[in-house]
Amino acid sequence: MAGHSKWKNIQRRKNAQDAKRGKIFMKHAKDIYIAAKQGGGDPDMNPGLRLAVDKAKSDNMPNDNIDRAIKKATGDLDGANFEELTYEGYGPGGTAVMVEVLTDNKNRTASELRHAFSKNGGNLGENGCVAFMFDRKGYIVIDQDKTDADEDTMMLEVIEAGAEEMETTEGAYEIYTDPEDYQDVKGALEESGFTLETAEITMIPQTLSAVDESAGNKMIKLVNMLEDMEDVQEVHHNMDAEDEIMAQL
């Protein structure tokens, strides 16, 4: 039993690491796609794309994944026409889930998503069924250990940069912006010398939905299954659970 328990612990850590790496790659793929869509697929002529590619490579994203993201954006991938879509549904315990996808086959993607939801105690819903529970925001995180600024100083910097709100959590300053102001706020904070641990435009839940351990574990399986799908770019949800469960997400 001791050996079995040890193997399970190792496997659990490996699965969490794989899921984290997959999520990082998906984020880079989305950044690369958007940059190439807006400014073209040549990094030498598109500074935004060059920056996105450099960041992806710094996280050891394979070149094939990078090339695929660029080709999706420029329409050079087997002549496919890709669309950005958002699907909505309910996860285990009544949690709200939003899934951003990039697909060349809506029927295939919808079928795969429906299967993932139903297999893990949820169901795919209609457009608009949970979108009203989320706000689209710029989201920036600064590690308190990586700055000399105290809370008052940080608040002044954030206000000057044009952000909407700042929350001080354990070990971090969490900053929220209007999506249209995100780039300006991000640039102002970087120019002031702050290291940004996280910087993205994302969906922030207005309220959290508490679930028990059983529903929380099913939710982990659902999120992992969704993130493993090639078409899925981002998964948002409003689950609240015990710290041990949330850490796995």
Q: What is the CATH number of the domain that holds 29?
A: 1.10.10.200
Q: What is the pLDDT of residues 156-184, one digit of tens each?
A: 999 999 999 999 988 889 999 999 999 89
pLDDT reported for residue 79: 60
HEC per residue, 3-41: HHHHHHHHHHHHHHHHHHHHHHHHHHHHHHHHHHHHHCC
Q: What is the pLDDT of residues 62-100, one digit of tens each?
A: 999 999 889 888 877 666 677 889 999 999 999 999 999
- Counted residue by residue, the chain has a size of 249
CATH number at residue 165: 3.30.70.980
Strand partners, 209: 239
| 12 and 59 belong to one structural domain | yes
- As for how many domains the chain has, the answer is 3
| 56 and 168 belong to one structural domain | no
- Give the residue from 74, 91, 116 where a domain finishes: 74
| 198 and 224 belong to one structural domain | no
| 125 and 233 belong to one structural domain | yes
Amino acid at 115: H
- Give the residue from 30, 53, 74 where a domain finishes: 74
Q: Which domain holds residue 171?
A: 134-204
Q: Is the pLDDT of residue 3 over 70?
A: no
CA distance 155 to 158: 5
| 113 and 143 belong to one structural domain | no
| 111 and 126 belong to one structural domain | yes
| 98 and 45 belong to one structural domain | no
Q: With contact defined as beta carbons under 8 Å apart, do 246 and 104 qualify?
A: no
| 116 and 224 belong to one structural domain | yes
pTM of the model: 0.73
Q: What is the pLDDT of residues 15-54, one digit of tens each?
A: 455 556 666 787 788 789 888 888 899 999 988 898 889 8
Say what angle helices 182-191 and 151-161 make with each other, to 10 degrees: 130
